A = this chain, B = another copy of it.
Amino acid sequence: MDTVQLKPIGIIHTPFKEQKGTPIQPKRGKGIEGTIEIFPEYVEGLADLDGFSHIYLIFHLDRSEGFKLKVIPYLDDVERGVFATRAPRRPNPIGLSIVKLNRIEGSILYIEDIDILDGTPLLDIKPYVHNFDEPQDYRIGWLEDKADRADNEDADDRFAK
């Protein structure tokens, strides 16, 4: 199949300069503030976005090189299939976070609850809509007894080169 070519629409600015110490999920990044700079040619597409309290960010995990199909994810000490984790070294290095949108001023989005590295290229924004996005019954596999710990743990350097 054809490769897909994408072009960043902006840059995400956060306090996290390196992977080590970065929150491993947006909830752990609670209260951490950052900004997104949208490139001028895309600013018109931000209209009406300020009505939403939360947005999905889809971004390029640009510090991630290569991938492994089995990884030892944060919160665990045994190998898991990479698609059952959110580890950054994936076949396609795409990141997904839900963050809080505090306000928009021109081309700048002020966001909160961030687990993203500074300088990360942004690929897309979509509104978070609970009516569409919240399943009612769910099972969370290997994370069942571990997910709550994400609120208290940061990344180490296990996915560094």
Most interface-central of A54, A86, A133 (chain B CB within 10 A): A133
- Which of B3, B49, B86, B100 is within 8 Å of A83, CB to CB? B49
List the number of copies, as a whole number.
2
Q: In the complex, what residues of B have CB within 8 A of residue A5's CB? A: 3-6
With the chains together, A100 CA to B135 CA distance in Å? 9
Cβ-closest chain B residue relative to A53: B139
Interface of A is mostly: mixed
Q: Does A27 contact B (CB under 8 A)?
A: yes
* Stretch binding the partner chain, chosen from A14-22, A119-127, A152-160: A119-127
A127-B140, A129-B140, A148-B131 known; A7-B3 Cβ under 8 A:
yes
Assembly CA distance A51 to B138 (angstroms): 10
Does A8 reach chain B (CB closer than 8 Å)?
Answer: yes
What range describes how many residues of A lie at the interface? 35 or more
Check B69–A126 contact: CB distance below 8 A: no
> How far does the alpha carbon of A4 sit from the alpha carbon of B122 in the complex, in Å?
11
Task: Collect the chain B residues with CB atoms within 8 Å of residue A56's CB.
Answer: 96
Closest to A54 in B: B135
Assess A81 versus B135: contact at CB under 8 Å? Given A94-B58, A124-B91. no
Residue A60 is within 8 A (CB to CB) of chain B in the complex: yes
Known: A83-B125, A129-B147. 14 other contacts (CB 8 A): A3-B7, A4-B6, A4-B121, A44-B70, A44-B81, A48-B80, A48-B84, A52-B138, A52-B140, A53-B138, A54-B138, A94-B94, A96-B126, A132-B150
